[in-house]
Structure 1
Amino acid sequence: MGFLSTIIFNFCVALGMVLGGSMVGALGAMLTHHPPMATMFKLADQLKIWALVAAIGGSVDALKIIGDSMWDFKFDSVAKQFAYLVSAFLGCQVGYYLVKWITAGRGI
């Protein structure tokens, strides 16, 4: 997979995990007679970190690549891993703000 396609892939995986997890969680909340909108908003916030880790394929590999590349002065690998992390982070944030918009911030 190329650099740009990996960035897009990480963004979409993180976005999908936040959106999908919060929507399915809201369905579960509705089935168990809990407020679905508040649950959806709360889950979107809680799922951000897990979506970030899942999108980059486990943070240990990314951290190992960054660490090894820093000692070898291969800053292109560090920049690539940082770009992958940023794209996954942006996917998480976009998913969170979409859920916040859908629920009109009814989580608190």
Structure 2
Amino acid sequence: MAPLLSDLTKNFFVAFGMVLGASLLAGVWSILLFKPPAPYMLEIARNVKVWALVAAVGGTIDPIRIIEFNLAEGYLNSAFRQILYIVSAFVGAQMGTALIEWICEGGLRA
């Protein structure tokens, strides 16, 4: 159970960090160009979300192949584990995007 939880949190934080880091760097870039950072940060957060998910689960099509092979062979535990990795990375990327949206759309003004 511990290795599974460790891998799930790793996938979550890799995807979360990629979205957050790319968006913050886009904000720095826009400030250097004397433009408002929020539109650029939001655009990058939404666009990089898919790539963060792909990078977190391995960067290739291999996780999908593993799921397909394990389902075909009847190894549901391994297939379920791969699906959990993908879901964990998706949640991390989604939460990173939500955080950037919250920051850019006035969540800190309260």
Fold similarity call, TM over 0.5: yes
* Partner-residue secondary structure (3-state), 2:34: coil
1:103 aligns with 2:104: yes
RMSD: 1.3
State the 1:28 CA deviation: 0.9
Code of the residue aligned with 1:22 in structure 2: it is: S
**What is the distance in 2 between the residues matched to 1:70 and 1:59?**
19
Give how far 1:31 is off.
1.2
Where does residue 76 of structure 1 map in the other structure? 77
How far has the Cα of 1:7 moved from its partner? 0.1
- Please identify runs of 4+ aligned residues in structure 1 that moved more than 6 A: none
Hey, what's the Cα distance between the residues in 1 that align with 2:51 and 2:38?
Answer: 20
Gaps of 5+ in 2: none
Identify the residue that residue 3 of structure 2 maps to in structure 1. 2
TM-score (norm 1): 0.92
Secondary structure of 2:38's aligned partner: helix
Instruction: For 1:18-97, list aligned pairs within 5 A.
Output: 18-97=19-98
Cα distance per residue 1:20-56 (max 9 Å; x no partner)? 0000011111112332111001110001000000000
SS in 2 for 1:65: helix
Alpha-carbon separation, structure 2, partners of 1:97 and 1:15: 10
TM-score between both structures, scaled by the size of structure 2: 0.90
